[in-house]
Amino acid sequence: MLAYVVRRLLYLIPTLLGVALLVFVLFTFAGEDPVRKELGRHASPEAIAALQAKWGLDKPVHLQFVDFLGQIVTFDYGVSYTNGERLSELFAKGAVVSLSLTLPPFLFALLFNVTLAMLIAYRRGKWLDKYATAGAVMAMSVSYLVYIISLQYLMAYRLDLFPINGYEPGVAAVPYLVLPWIIMITVSVGPQIRIYRTFFLDEMNADYVRTARAKGLPESKVLFGHVLRNVSIPILTYTVVAIPFLILGAFLMERFFSIPGVGDLLITAIQTGDYPVLKGLTMYIAIGYSLFNLLTDVLYAYVDPRVELS
């Protein structure tokens, strides 16, 4: 296991180098000149040279790329072009906010949807399966934006059950997060029920399940001891890889509810052309996605002893 993990980590180096080169080229040559954008078209050469020196843009391109690689290794991407704050502090504050928004509904939805999908698959062909599947398809057909606007209007504006928008640090943030949590759980039910139901049906029709029932095992033992364990592999694939994106938060949710998370920071950076923020967040996601892919493979071996890591 240790040799496999070390080998996979070594494989990540050329992958992340390629991503870093692509990100650097895109934001260096394809984007608008941040110095001109900051100072305007009529800035003096002295002012341009001073700002370029401050941001390290006066160096040759290959040295700028070396600096960028150093930032990736140290997780220190310098300062924001917009407000001059250190990006490590901005990312840390935003990540806490985004995780408080996305993690609770993610965990609750995972437990709820897996349980409901298993029950629906067990009652295949019955009224519960038919109505639940039809409801899931209908829920998937509604836009995320419709859920946000409708529930915000009904539950926050009309019924005045929750604040319409805003955020406060600490425990005081909970009243502002409850409605976004409800919306995110509601949005997740349709697609997750559909895909988890398919996972369970594939296993429930397997030969080993019929053999277990023929031996007289209790149905609870068949479902939780055999079916659920084997379904855990595709569920792990579906969920673990999504974890890095929790730090980004929900773009629309943070925007509509004025929640100052990483998603809102990213949208603001796109609007203002804050390239250090965009480059930093892109690399964070690339690294997180790669590491959690590795974690998924390692967890396979623990969930299913038949899986061999090589």
Which one-letter amino acid corresponds to residue 11? Y
CA dihedral 52, 57, 63, 66 (to 10 degrees): 120
Span 172-194, mean pLDDT? 90
pLDDT in tens, 17-36: 999 999 888 888 876 777 77
Residue 193's CB is within 10 A of a number of other CB atoms, namely: 24
pLDDT value of residue 246: 77
* pLDDT score of 174 more than 70: yes
Per-residue pLDDT for 295 more than 70? yes
The pLDDT, as a whole number, for residue 255 is 86
Taking only the tens place, the pLDDT of each residue in 67-89 is 989 988 888 888 888 888 888 88
Extract the tokens encoding 226: 């055999």
Domains along the sequence of the chain with CATH? 87-303 (1.10.3720.10)
**Lowest pLDDT segment from 46-50, 144-148, 149-153:** 46-50
Q: Are the CB atoms for 71 and 78 separated by under 8 Å? A: yes
The pLDDT of residue 2 is: 75
Rg (the chain; Cα; Å): 24
Q: Are 39 and 47 in contact (CB under 8 A)?
A: yes
Greater pLDDT, 37 or 181:
181
Averaged over 202-224, what is the pLDDT? 83
Rounded Cα distance between 3 and 277, Å, is 35
What digits encode the pLDDT tens for the residues 235-272? 887 787 777 777 766 778 888 898 988 888 888 888 88
Q: How far apart are CA 249 and CA 167, in angstroms?
A: 14
Indicate whether 153 pLDDT > 80: yes
pLDDT in tens, 84-113: 888 888 888 888 898 899 889 999 999 999
Q: What is the 3-state secondary structure (H, E, C) of the chain?
A: CHHHHHHHHHHHHHHHHHHHHHHHHHHHHHCCCHHHHHHCCCCCHHHHHHHHHHHCCCCCHHHHHHHHHHHHHHCCCCECCCCCCEHHHHHHHHHHHHHHHHHHHHHHHHHHHHHHHHHHHHCCCCHHHHHHHHHHHHHHCCCHHHHHHHHHHHHHHHCCCCCCCCCCCHHHHHHHHHHHHHHHHHHHHHHHHHHHHHHHHHHHCCHHHHHHHHCCCCHHHHHHHHHHHHHHHHHHHHHHCCHHHHCCCCHHHHHHCCCCCHHHHHHHHHHHCCHHHHHHHHHHHHHHHHHHHHHHHHHHHHHCCCCCCC
More confident residue, 217 or 306: 217
Q: Which residues pair with 86 in a beta bridge?
A: 79
